[in-house]
Amino acid sequence: MSELDSVEELYQQVILDHNRTPRNFRKLEDADRSAEGHNPLCGDHLWVFVRMEGNRIGDITFYGAGCAISKASASMMTEAVKGKSRQEAEELFERFRRLVMGGDGGSLGKLAAFSGVSEFPVRVKCATLAWHTLRSALEGKEETVSTE
Ligand code: ZN
């Protein structure tokens, strides 16, 4: 097995694990912000719940149904942005988006597992749905986010 294969294998495992056992997968009862996201192309449909603590994301959860990529991405996103400021979360989204578009996202830790998504343009929407939904929640918008 080449080194590249083993890295891809590892990334695959991380995504499968988060799909099988999504973290923070529940409704957040005391959320002060939430948004709904929909990716009609794939059928992914999820909600993101946030409770702010000052300018920071005190707690974040998600709920809904979708493909493995969308669910694993939402799961890892909740872990990545908890405790971050709105600005930091936004910056992370920008870098994550660069990564899944095939660019250089810089150091992204576990989120780097989604680098392979860039080879499947249709999947980019699956991978970024939770992030778009988070942005909408942080902006306090009411309407459903659609990737279309
Ligand atoms: Zn999907």
For the segment 88-116, the average pLDDT, to the nearest whole number, is 95
CA distance 34 to 18: 22
pTM to 2 decimal places? 0.92
Rounded to the nearest whole angstrom, what is the distance from the C-alpha of residue 43 to the centroid of ligand 1?
6
Average pLDDT, integer, range 97-119: 94
| Predicted confidence band of residue 69 (pLDDT cuts 50, 70, 90) | very high
Question: Domain containing 86 — which CATH number?
Answer: 3.90.1010.10
Q: Ligand 1 centroid to 9 CA: how many Å?
A: 20
What is the CA(53)–ligand 1 centre distance, in A?
31
**Ligand 1 center from residue 60 Cα (angstroms):** 21
Supply the range of the domain harboring residue 113: 3-146
Can you give the pLDDT at residue 144?
79
Q: Give the number of domains in the chain.
A: 1
Helical axes 3-20 vs 68-81, angle rounded to 10°: 90
What is the tens place of the pLDDT at every residue in 7-51? 788 889 999 999 999 999 999 999 999 999 999 999 999 999 999
Residue 57 β-bridge partners: 52
State the Cα–Cα distance between residues 66 and 15, nearest whole angstrom: 13
Residue environment code for 71-101, b if the CB has 16+ CB neighbours within 10 A, otherwise e: bbbbbbbbebbbebebeebbebbeebbebbe
Residues 83, 30: Cα–Cα separation, whole Å: 16
Confidence of residue 3 (pLDDT cuts 50, 70, 90): low
CA of 4 to the centre of ligand 1 (A): 25
